[in-house]
């Protein structure tokens, strides 16, 4: 199929597929979690955008590594092992339980045995993967649209990331909340985080928010909410939510405690990438100005291909 650069992605049109795909990515993510040494802020568990979809990147297995990839263009789940073995599972309508069983079976066939937590993370009233025969939808067209949006957003987020000299996360996909995110840090420690999420230990969340952040991301939507971009600060400084941000369609959502910009407003803009970049920059400034970050030490011009950062003498 031929896709628009920034395709329509109304949540209601692919809600069941979105939920099923979310749960499938959690299975792959939990396999990475079970085998990968802990990294600050949970960065060791995420997935990454590829040309065709999402990947775990290499996962340790003794003297070998293996990689799990969602090819959302050819609609297949690939297992590739560094010793040359490979397995493939077609992506089509199937229950979460069947996908869970197929993945573990194929891993075992290449000599990889791994046990994961059977309960989904960050989903209220969830069903264990091995017993979930409720979620089984797979709409190829909307999966491809979603993958195309991820590719576009990934590029803009990576451009935005180059304008910061301080500590910054990779651009990565969190399978728990099912969103693509990038986070900047002021360098200062934050108050102890007291929030909670279903199926997620509080000490994990406290470690994730151990330092002040300005974090932005893309979420494909949920019941009653279409795909959106978001940006928040932790801890939220005084004056943050009143800061004037761009574009004008962006608003502060009191219930969520973050700035929100509907994806549809971005795709309809004359220059979607520029509109998104203005949202990322202005909401970061809301956090940095209100929170009195050391902007002179932390910020720089956006990066350009082949041009290294200058060095003061």
Q: pLDDT for 32-88, tens place per residue? A: 999 999 999 999 999 999 999 999 999 999 999 999 999 999 999 999 999 999 999
- Same domain membership, residue 195 and residue 112: no
Among residues 106, 131, 156, which one ends one of the domains? 131
Q: Which residues are within 8 A (CB) of 9 and not within 5 positions of it... i.e. 6 or more apart?
A: 142, 145, 146, 149, 220, 221, 226, 227, 263
Residue listed under structure tokens 């986070």: 183
Q: Are residues 182 and 272 in the same domain?
A: yes
One domain, residues 171 and 276: yes
44 and 115 part of one domain = yes
Residue 311: predicted pLDDT = 57
Q: Is residue 308 part of a domain?
A: no
Using one digit for the tens of pLDDT, what is the confidence trace for 141-166?
999 999 999 999 999 999 999 999 99
pLDDT of residue 229: 98
* pLDDT at res. 309: 84
Enter the pTM of the model: 0.96
pLDDT at residue number 313: 40
Residue 81, in any domain of the structure: yes
Residue 313 lies in a domain: no
**What range defines the domain where residue 271 resides?**
140-298
């Amino acid at each position: 199929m031929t896709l628009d650069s920034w395709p329509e992605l109304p949540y209601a049109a692919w809600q069941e597929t979105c939920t099923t795909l979310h749960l499938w990515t959690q299975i792959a993510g939990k396999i990475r979690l079970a085998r990968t040494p802990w990294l600050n802020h949970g960065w060791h568990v995420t997935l990454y955008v590829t040309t065709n979809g999402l990947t775990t990147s290499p996962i340790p297995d003794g003297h070998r590594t293996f990689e799990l990839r969602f090819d959302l263009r050819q609609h297949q789940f690939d297992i590739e092992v560094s010793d040359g073995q490979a397995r493939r599972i077609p992506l089509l309508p199937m229950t979460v339980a069947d996908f869970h069983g197929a993945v573990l079976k194929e891993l075992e066939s290449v000599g990889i045995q791994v046990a994961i937590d059977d309960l989904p993370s960050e989903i209220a009233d969830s069903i264990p993967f091995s017993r979930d025969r409720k979620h089984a939808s797979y709409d190829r067209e909307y999966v491809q649209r979603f993958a195309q949006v991820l590719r576009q957003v990934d590029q803009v987020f990576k451009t935005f990331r180059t304008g910061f000299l301080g500590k910054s996360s990779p651009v990565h996909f969190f399978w728990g909340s099912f969103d693509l995110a990038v986070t900047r840090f002021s360098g200062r420690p934050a108050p102890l985080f007291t929030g909670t999420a279903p199926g997620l230990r509080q000490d994990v969340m406290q470690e994730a928010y151990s330092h002040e952040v300005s974090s932005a991301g893309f979420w494909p939507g949920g019941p009653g909410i279409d795909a959106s971009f978001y940006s928040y600060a932790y801890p939220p400084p005084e004056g943050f939510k009143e800061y004037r941000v761009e574009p004008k369609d962006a608003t502060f959502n009191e219930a969520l405690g973050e700035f929100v910009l509907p994806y549809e407003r971005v795709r309809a803009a004359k220059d979607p990438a520029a509109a998104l970049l203005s949202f990322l920059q202005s909401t970061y400034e809301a956090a940095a100005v209100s929170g009195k970050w050391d902007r002179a030490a932390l910020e720089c011009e956006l990066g350009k291909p082949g041009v290294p950062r200058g060095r003061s003498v």
